[in-house]
Amino acid sequence: MDRFEGYSAFVTGGARGIGAAVVRRLHSEGARVVVADVDDSAAREAFGGVRGVSVVRCDVGDAESVAAAFAYVREELGGLDVLVNNAFARDAMDSPRIEDDPDGGWREQLHVTLLGAVRCARAAMPLLAAADGRGAVVNIGSVNAEAYFGNHAYSAAKAGLASFTRTLAGEVAPRRVRVNQITPGTVATRAWESREEQLAALAARVYPLGRVGTPDDVAAAVAFLASSDAAWITGTTLRVDGGLLAVNTHFGEVLGQP
């Protein structure tokens, strides 16, 4: 299936984890993909030499870095059809008590996780609007935006991203650009390395479908929302969370429900 034959895509945070899975999925369906990551050496290690995939260093927290990355897109690809905002501030995800929660972590999350997506959307929009109705933005959110799972600043930034998804969808719809969001639950990435017992406990006790997610689960959903299969979908959030937000597993356990 080549839903993205002739398409160009830009994926932030594409060197590892969910971002890398998105790159592989879009490329496997025919897209030319630019992998944008602050760790461009890791991106080159993952995708160097793959025909149709190029790498550009991009720090979404830096406006000049974003501008340079999209200048590269215009020069190398000539246009853009799909933007996937996946990058976030990984180093600011500690979850202390609120009285011990410094401003620095909040600034980092808002500056990178939220404003990073805004910067990329701003830079990409003229290209997406010129894509003859194929332009699509897919933001990677989190269940943290909708319920308490710790990490105040990260959760607030992702909630802001959900709001931005809706408002941007309204603004750019007349230009035939669609904007949607994926809301993943727990996904087995490097953030969970050496925590296999915790992942197993989450799968058994918390997730109704009996497992945590994989990067490929998220990538499949991104590919759907970015494709013409979702041509009449904009401003929506698609939960890819194994039923986490819809079903209270512990409530059922207390009541003795199967």
User: Confidence class of residue 90 from pLDDT cuts 50, 70 and 90?
Assistant: confident
pLDDT at residue 1 is higher than 90:
no
**Domain presence at residue 198:** no
Question: How confident is the model at residue 33, as a pLDDT?
Answer: 98
AA letter at 145: A
Q: What is the pTM of this model?
A: 0.95
Q: Which domain holds residue 113?
A: 8-191+214-244
Identify whether the C-beta of residue 138 lies closer than 8 Å to the C-beta of residue 225.
yes
Question: How far is residue 8's CA from residue 255's CA, in Å, rounded to a whole number?
Answer: 51
Percent of the chain with pLDDT over 90: 85
Query: Which residue is listed with tokens 């760790």?
Result: 39
Residue among 7, 72, 148, 158 flagged as catalytic: 158
- Report if residue 239 sits inside a domain: yes
Number of folded domains that form the chain: 1
In a domain, 206, yes or no: no
Condensed to tens digits (0 to 9), the pLDDT of residues 154-170 reads 999 999 999 999 999 99
**pLDDT tens sequence across 113-139:** 999 999 999 999 999 999 999 999 999
CA distance 31 to 62: 27
Selecting among 7, 72, 154, 207, the annotated active-site residue is: 154
> What confidence tens digit (pLDDT) does each residue in 205-218 have?
999 999 999 999 99
Residue 72 lies in a domain: yes
**First-last CA distance in the chain:** 39
Residue at 45 is within a domain: yes
What's the pLDDT tens digit per position in 95-114? 678 888 888 889 999 999 99
Q: Is 158 a catalytic residue?
A: yes
- Output the domain CATH number for residue 38: 3.40.50.720
pLDDT at position 248 over 90? no
Considering the domain boundaries, does residue 205 fall inside one?
no
User: 73 lies in a domain?
Assistant: yes
Query: Annotated catalytic, 154?
Result: yes
147 within some domain: yes
